[in-house]
Amino acid sequence: MDRDAPLASPTSPADAVPLYDARASRNIAFIGLGLCGAAVLLGVVAAFGGDSTPLNSMRVALVFIGMVTTGAAISMRPDLWWMWGLGVAASTLGFFGLSPDWDSFHALLLVMAGVSVFAMLLRLSSLRWRIVIISAMLMFHFVGIFSAVTSPPTSPWLTDQAFTRVYNPYLQFIYMRNAYHFYSPEPGPASILAFLLKTETGTDPTTGRARYKTEWIVMPRKPIDVRDPLGLSYYRRLSLTEQLARGNAGLAMPNDQFEKTDVWYRRNSRTPDAASRRELDRSEAIQIPFHPTEVPTIRQYKLPNADVARFILPSYASHVILDFTPDKEAAAKTTVKVYRLEHQALPVDQFRLGLNPFHPGTYRPYFLGEYDARGNLLNPQEDFLYWMLPVVPRTPGPGDPNKKGYIDYMSVHATGMKPEEVLAADEKDGQVFDWNQLRWSSLR
């Protein structure tokens, strides 16, 4: 061989980088299809079997490995339109191979199937049409980012129309809505939802009053809602709670006007000071003070937006009842009280002093109403509806049998117990709210 002979230049991309054998790529894709198909068969077995938890875990593993395998095969020969067709088949089998709990993964597989269909059609198109279509896709994407950047509360009309009618589902899926608004200066407190389920179990023969079984439900819950290593399922549920945070404090009116409203009058009549004056002859009712003075009173009332109060809140309440009751008879006898716990971050100086960032006093619960299984608000005139129910820090004195460093007025309202009864109650018994489940360790 003549070492000084000039090397021949490649005349095509295939000469420069040899392509994988089409049959090998097809066989690898078939392996991925087989794994996804096996997940579908396990789903059929799980539907007719007993404990489906191990089978569902196997289905997730099979679909994940199958989709990765099929994707690797497509990456070997993306120039073949029928390879993208195998991607459509794998995505479809994967969709039916997963249990219904994996709703986010179902959405991802639907998008992957759509992308595969689009790529298959693109491969069947001429070069000119490919350039036109890809350019239009890039323009669509970057206009969507521009609409997110220019959509704070005061947005141009064109941005509002494009965002509302076109870009909202697309940007929601790729998560380019919130992050592109550039928080300034802080993103605000996170929220957790607490639900008290009350199921009627009979009648007290002595008093003739109804008896109830109660259960506290928290959303999102750890570790139950952490279903993946990155905690994506948990944080997506955490974002659901933010839907209920949209509203106006103090009916969006000045303080002096707000104090003349019926909403203020009813709430103010249920404070300890009002009870001492026997206002409205309600001194025997539950008395709950306003939050300490660092929270303005007008900010302790937050009326949800109309869409939240009419649609989102009832749907959340109905879902919790139906999800945590064994059958429709129990659901019909169950109501739920909904509370939104707004978690305030500790200032840096307090955190440096070693104060617990998960202390109950850092949470500000708002009562959002009591609902039945159909999502009906039971008492729209409830005195504490949409009001903050404070968790007030306290310092136990010498000889005080109650060592809790707080008084939980959310539990006072939810259970109808007196503050001293809630203070003495064991949170592990489940009657009052257990603050330990929010991952705090010690109180100071």
Query: Within 10 A of 68 (CB to CB), how many other CB atoms are there?
Result: 12
At residue 58, what is the residue type?
Answer: M
What is the structure's pLDDT at 428?
A: 86
What is the structure's pLDDT at 84?
A: 94
What is the structure's pLDDT at 251?
A: 83
Long-range (24+ apart) CB contacts under 8 A made by 89-93 are 89/33, 90/29, 90/32, 90/33, 90/36, 90/66, 91/67, 91/116, 93/33, 93/36, 93/37, 93/39, 93/40, 93/66
Task: Tell me the mean pLDDT in the region 380-392.
Answer: 94
Number of domains in the chain: 3
Q: H or E segment at 26?
A: helix 22-48
More confident: 180 or 339 = 339
Task: Tell me the mean pLDDT in the region 30-39.
Answer: 95
Please state the pTM of the whole predicted model.
0.65
What is the structure's pLDDT at 178?
A: 60
Give the distance from CA 308 to its chain's centroid.
Answer: 15
Give the distance from CA 103 to its chain's centroid.
Answer: 13
Residues 147 and 238 in one domain: no
Query: Which residue, 181, 200, 218, sits at the end of a domain?
Result: 181
Residues 268 and 366 in one domain: yes
Per-residue pLDDT band for 151 (boundaries 50, 70, 90) equals: low
What is the structure's pLDDT at 7?
A: 57
Kindly state whether residue 364 falls inside one of the protein's structural domains. Answer: yes
pLDDT at 433 over 80: yes
Residues 363 and 339 in one domain: yes
pLDDT at 30 over 70: yes
Task: Tell me the mean pLDDT in the region 123-138.
Answer: 90
Kindly state whether residue 227 falls inside one of the protein's structural domains. Answer: yes
- Alpha carbons within 13 angstroms on the beta-carbon side of residue 342 total 23
Long-range (24+ apart) CB contacts under 8 A made by 37-40 are 37/93, 37/97, 38/62, 38/66, 38/97, 39/63, 39/66, 39/93, 39/94, 39/97, 39/98, 40/93, 40/96, 40/97
Task: Tell me the mean pLDDT in the region 372-401.
Answer: 91
Give which of 118, 68, 116, 76 is closest to 92, Cα–Cα: 116
Residues 110 and 154 in one domain: no
Kindly state whether residue 4 falls inside one of the protein's structural domains. Answer: no
What is the structure's pLDDT at 276?
A: 56
At residue 162, what is the residue type?
Answer: A
Least confident segment among 2-11, 51-60, 94-103, 386-395 = 2-11
Rounded Cα distance between 377 and 338, Å, is 11
Residue with tokens 């100071």, as numbered in its chain = 444
Radius of gyration (Cα) for the chain, nearest Å?
A: 29
Q: What percentage of the chain exceeds 70 in pLDDT?
A: 86
Residues 400 and 427 in one domain: yes
Per-residue pLDDT band for 442 (boundaries 50, 70, 90) equals: very low
| Mean model confidence pLDDT for the chain | 84
**Sign, CA torsion 344/345/349/355:** positive
User: Please, are residues 275 and 287 in contact by the beta-carbon 8 Å criterion?
Assistant: yes
Residues 99 and 144 in one domain: no
Task: Tell me the mean pLDDT in the region 14-26.
Answer: 81
pLDDT at 158 over 60: yes
pLDDT in tens, 395-431: 888 878 888 889 999 999 999 999 999 999 988 888 9
Q: What percentage of the chain exceeds 90 in pLDDT?
A: 42
How many contiguous H segments (helices) and E segments (strands) does the chain have? 18, 8
Both tokens of residue 267? 């709430």
What is the structure's pLDDT at 51?
A: 56
Residues 166 and 208 in one domain: no
Per-residue pLDDT band for 4 (boundaries 50, 70, 90) equals: low
**DSSP letter at 363?**
E
Per-residue pLDDT band for 222 (boundaries 50, 70, 90) equals: confident
What is the structure's pLDDT at 440?
A: 43
Kindly state whether residue 7 falls inside one of the protein's structural domains. Answer: no
Give which of 294, 407, 423 is closest to 361, Cα–Cα: 407
pLDDT in tens, 273-326: 765 555 444 445 789 999 887 778 888 999 999 989 999 999 999 999 999 999
Residues 78 and 38 in one domain: yes
More confident: 81 or 9 = 81
Residues in Cβ contact with 50 at an 8 Å cutoff, skipping those fewer than 6 apart: none
Kindly state whether residue 9 falls inside one of the protein's structural domains. Answer: no
Residues 159 and 71 in one domain: no
Residues 232 and 365 in one domain: yes
Task: Tell me the mean pLDDT in the region 388-392.
Answer: 93
Neighbour-count burial of 77, counting CB atoms closer than 10 A to its CB (0-12 exposed, 13-18 middle, 19+ buried): buried
pLDDT at 266 over 80: yes
Residue with tokens 């008093």, as numbered in its chain = 207
Task: Tell me the mean pLDDT in the region 50-69.
Answer: 86
Rounded Cα distance between 366 and 373, Å, is 21
Query: Which residue, 181, 199, 224, sits at the end of a domain?
Result: 181
Kindly state whether residue 8 falls inside one of the protein's structural domains. Answer: no
Query: Which residue, 135, 153, 181, sits at the end of a domain?
Result: 181
Task: Tell me the mean pLDDT in the region 358-379.
Answer: 94
Rounded Cα distance between 239 and 42, Å, is 32
Domain carrying residue 61 = 15-123
More confident: 4 or 441 = 4
Residues 110 and 177 in one domain: no
The vertex-402 CA angle with 397 and 405, nearest 5°, equals 70
Rounded Cα distance between 114 and 361, Å, is 48
Packing angle, helices 103-123 and 53-76, rounded to 10 = 20
Kindly state whether residue 6 falls inside one of the protein's structural domains. Answer: no
Residues 175 and 287 in one domain: no
Cis peptide, bond prior to residue 220, ω within 30 of zero = yes
Task: Tell me the mean pLDDT in the region 157-164.
Answer: 77
Per-residue pLDDT band for 166 (boundaries 50, 70, 90) equals: confident
User: Which alpha helices (H) appear in 124-192, and where do they start and end?
Assistant: 127-149, 157-162, 168-174
Kindly state whether residue 2 falls inside one of the protein's structural domains. Answer: no
